[in-house]
């Protein structure tokens, strides 16, 4: 491949130095840091001396950026540059010289009123529309600097991304087809992407301006995205409707699905397999349209990768939902576990109420009912913080735990940063973990082998007067099993979806297992007993205790030999080693009876 010939042809078509290197397929970052020097080196004559440009254009010195847009730079056109550019001067000509040759008038009489005069831009690349040219960069530097100062990120590195005008895709294709037509050996698939060349050239200079280290998006959590627009973007793409009418008619027919007519993907599809002949005959387009305005940066977006904090919460209240409980927009409880945990975090990052609702996401390994406490080591949970300005210190994490625990309703002993992979483990554990519960139950009727009452009428006996939990009752519960000996499960349940959750769960019959089962009496309360069960995930323990009119079989009463109901429930342990660190000391809380 003749690199000099390719550069010469690119210059004839109006490409900047950086785009010339792109069409050579060069993917060395250092080449784009000083594109002009690299092009002159390749264009050296046989004696090894670089050819001097016919126009005496000095490289623009690097200056401190200003708040104003860069002014258009004019250079005098070389002598004789009127209709076409001669081969001897093509190598050093710029797209501005070609634009001078454009004979379109500055006013349009067909519209009925005179148009304001517009200067013909000189020096703007017909391919990248100025995105890779240094005179456009100071404005971008200022906008990035302003945004970083506004958001106050505490990050030593950054990655940059570009949203470029879609018209550059069409222009790139036209130039590539010209190169393939001029050089038989040219591979038009070797073009270096505009965004890559931009990162290597603009990104390196931006890093020095903002005093941060440029890194890849896979490494740096801070991403700076520049949106650069070209005023004639959509107008130039209209020619593609003639080139690929079927594609765009189908997109118009599916208007609801495609909100925008021209997208990067649709433009690439329309240009796939296009030839110069097709462009000339169908789209009446043989060269890249003349540039009438510079592509300019219209916005800068800075975002930090989400931060994840993990921990375990202990819920001490029987009147506290896990998440805000709203019915038809009306709050049913004064607060929630989620709100108690998130409020100090929102204050640390100076978030308002609405901002916190969008930027803080609460996740947990399952949930407990409003009237159920979660004791022991607590339930694993995580908080996702969107666009955090910094990583909290160990001291700040400890302070957050103290502020959360000060509520008296929720305790969090430790908060620690976790990764996205850890979150997947948390959600997986929600479906696979085992849990241990303690149930405060009441015996409602006599067992078959209870001693008959010595006093009272038969009606009092039938109503359960003098019902007490006996040693035989406790022994029956502790020995109960409906599975074969040696089975890992003690009790196999068949549970229909409880009525209380039918509004959010499908009506199914689920098989669930109780792995361990034991009971003990409550001193001073003859009719009460505490039942401890260890179950697999998804077991409805309340329904197992009272049976829900036969919707759960067997029930606790089958093991007890008498009717029973549940008065209170605690989650005693959630068996999930998350976050991975030795768990804290078990919480000592009031007994179930209280």
pLDDT tens column, 334-389: 999 999 999 999 999 999 999 999 999 999 999 999 999 999 999 999 999 999 99
In 454-470, which positions are buried (b, 16+ CB within 10 angstroms) versus exposed (e)? Answer: eeeeeeebeeeebbebb
User: Is the Cα dihedral 407, 409, 411, 417 positive or negative?
Assistant: negative
Torsion of CA 177, 169, 8, 77, to 10 degrees: 120
User: What proportion of the chain, given as a percentage, has pLDDT over 90?
Assistant: 68
Average pLDDT on 289-300 reads 93
- Secondary structure string (H, E, C) spanning 37-65: HHHHHHCCCCCCCCCCCCCCCCCCCCCCC
Angle between helices 337-348 and 394-405 (to 10 degrees): 140
pTM: 0.76
392: left (phi over 0), alpha (psi -120 to 50) or beta: beta
List Cβ neighbours of 217 (8 Å cut-off, separation of 6 or more): 159, 161, 223
pLDDT digits (tens, 9 = 90+) for 525-536: 999 999 999 999
* pLDDT value for 258: 65
Q: Does domain 306-432 have CATH number 3.40.50.10860?
A: no
Between CA 312 and CA 379 the distance in angstroms is 5
* pLDDT value for 257: 65
Confidence of residue 283 (pLDDT cuts 50, 70, 90): confident
| pLDDT higher than threshold 50 for residue 168 | yes
Residues 193 and 262: beta-carbon distance below 8 Å: no
- What is the second-level CATH architecture of the domain 434-575? 2-Layer Sandwich (3.30)
Average pLDDT on 120-134 reads 87
* pLDDT value for 582: 56
Which three-class secondary structure state does DSSP give residue 193? coil
User: Per-residue DSSP letters for 328-363?
Assistant: TTEE-SS--HHHHHHHHHHHHTT--HHHHHHHEEEE
* pLDDT value for 75: 36
Confidence of residue 299 (pLDDT cuts 50, 70, 90): very high
* pLDDT value for 102: 39
Residues 217 and 152: beta-carbon distance below 8 Å: no
Q: Which residue has the higher pLDDT, 452 or 407?
A: 407
Cis upstream peptide for 579 (omega within 30°): yes
* pLDDT value for 35: 94
Between CA 46 and CA 37 the distance in angstroms is 17
| pLDDT higher than threshold 90 for residue 87 | no
| pLDDT higher than threshold 70 for residue 68 | no
For the chain, the residue count is 594
Residue with tokens 């949106």: 227
Torsion of CA 174, 180, 183, 187, to 10 degrees: 120
* pLDDT value for 251: 76
Confidence of residue 109 (pLDDT cuts 50, 70, 90): very low
* pLDDT value for 580: 84
pLDDT digits (tens, 9 = 90+) for 465-513: 689 999 999 999 999 999 999 999 999 999 999 999 998 899 999 999 9
Among 553, 551, 549, smallest CA distance to 514 is for 553
Neighbouring CB atoms inside 10 A of 98's CB total 24
Mean pLDDT over each residue of the chain, to the nearest integer:
85
Q: List phi, psi (to 5°) of 139.
A: -60, -45
Among 165, 191, 176, smallest CA distance to 292 is for 165
pLDDT digits (tens, 9 = 90+) for 547-589: 999 999 999 999 999 999 999 999 999 999 999 865 555 555 5
Average pLDDT on 400-405 reads 97
* pLDDT value for 8: 93
Annotated domain spans of the chain: 3-56+83-105+119-239+285-303, 306-432, 434-575
């Amino acid at each position: 491949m003749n690199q000099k010939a390719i550069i010469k042809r690119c210059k004839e078509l109006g490409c900047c130095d950086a785009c010339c290197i792109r069409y050579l397929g060069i993917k060395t970052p250092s080449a784009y840091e000083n594109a002009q020097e690299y092009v002159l080196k390749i264009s050296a004559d046989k004696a090894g001396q670089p050819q001097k440009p016919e126009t005496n254009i000095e490289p623009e010195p690097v200056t401190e950026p200003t708040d104003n847009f860069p002014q258009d730079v004019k250079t005098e056109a070389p002598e004789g540059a009127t209709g076409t550019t001669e081969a001897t001067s093509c190598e050093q000509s710029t797209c501005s010289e070609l634009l001078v040759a454009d004979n379109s008038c500055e006013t349009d009489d067909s519209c009925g009123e005179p148009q304001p005069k517009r200067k013909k831009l000189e020096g703007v690349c017909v391919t990248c529309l100025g995105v890779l040219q240094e005179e456009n960069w100071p404005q971008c530097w200022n906008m990035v600097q302003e945004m970083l100062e506004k958001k106050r990120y505490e990050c030593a590195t950054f990655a940059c991304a570009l949203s470029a005008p879609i018209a550059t895709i069409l222009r790139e294709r036209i130039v590539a087809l010209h190169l393939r037509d001029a050089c038989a050996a040219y591979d038009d698939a070797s073009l270096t992407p505009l965004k890559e060349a931009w990162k290597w050239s603009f990104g390196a200079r931006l890093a020095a301006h903002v005093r941060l280290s440029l890194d890849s998006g896979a490494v740096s959590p801070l991403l700076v995205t520049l949106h650069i627009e070209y005023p004639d973007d959509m107008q130039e793409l209209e020619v593609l409707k003639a080139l690929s009418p079927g594609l765009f008619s189908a997109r118009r027919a599916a208007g609801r699905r495609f909100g925008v007519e021209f997208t990067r993907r649709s433009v690439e599809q329309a240009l796939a397999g296009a030839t110069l002949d097709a462009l000339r005959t169908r789209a009446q387009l043989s060269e890249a349209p003349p540039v009438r305005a510079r592509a300019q940066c219209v916005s800068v977006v800075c975002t930090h990768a989400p931060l994840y904090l993990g921990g375990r919460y202990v819920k001490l209240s029987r009147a506290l939902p896990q998440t805000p409980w709203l019915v038809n927009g009306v709050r049913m409880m004064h607060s929630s576990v989620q709100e108690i945990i998130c409020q100090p975090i929102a204050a640390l990052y100076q978030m308002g109420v609405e901002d916190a609702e969008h930027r803080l996401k609460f996740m947990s390994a399952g949930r407990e009912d409003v009237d159920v406490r979660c004791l022991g080591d607590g339930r694993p949970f995580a908080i996702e913080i969107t666009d955090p300005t910094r990583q909290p210190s160990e001291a700040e994490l400890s302070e957050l735990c103290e502020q959360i625990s000060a509520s008296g309703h929720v305790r969090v002993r430790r908060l620690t940063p976790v990764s996205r992979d850890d979150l997947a483990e948390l959600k997986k554990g929600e479906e696979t973990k085992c849990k241990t519960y303690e149930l405060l139950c009441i015996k409602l009727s006599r067992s078959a082998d209870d001693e008959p009452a010595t006093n009272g009428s038969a009606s009092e006996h039938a109503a359960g007067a003098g019902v007490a939990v006996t040693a035989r009752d406790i022994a029956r519960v502790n020995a109960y099993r409906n599975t074969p000996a040696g089975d890992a499960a003690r009790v196999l349940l068949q549970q229909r979806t409880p009525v209380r959750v039918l509004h959010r769960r499908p009506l199914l019959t689920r098989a669930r297992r109780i792995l361990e089962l034991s009971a003990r009496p409550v001193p001073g309360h003859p009719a009460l007993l505490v039942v401890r069960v260890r179950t697999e995930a998804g077991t409805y323990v309340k329904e197992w205790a009272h049976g829900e009119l036969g919707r759960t079989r067997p029930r606790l009463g089958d093991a007890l030999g008498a009717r029973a109901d549940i008065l209170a429930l605690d989650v005693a342990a959630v068996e999930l080693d998350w976050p991975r660190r030795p768990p804290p000391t078990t919480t000592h809380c009031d007994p179930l009876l209280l």
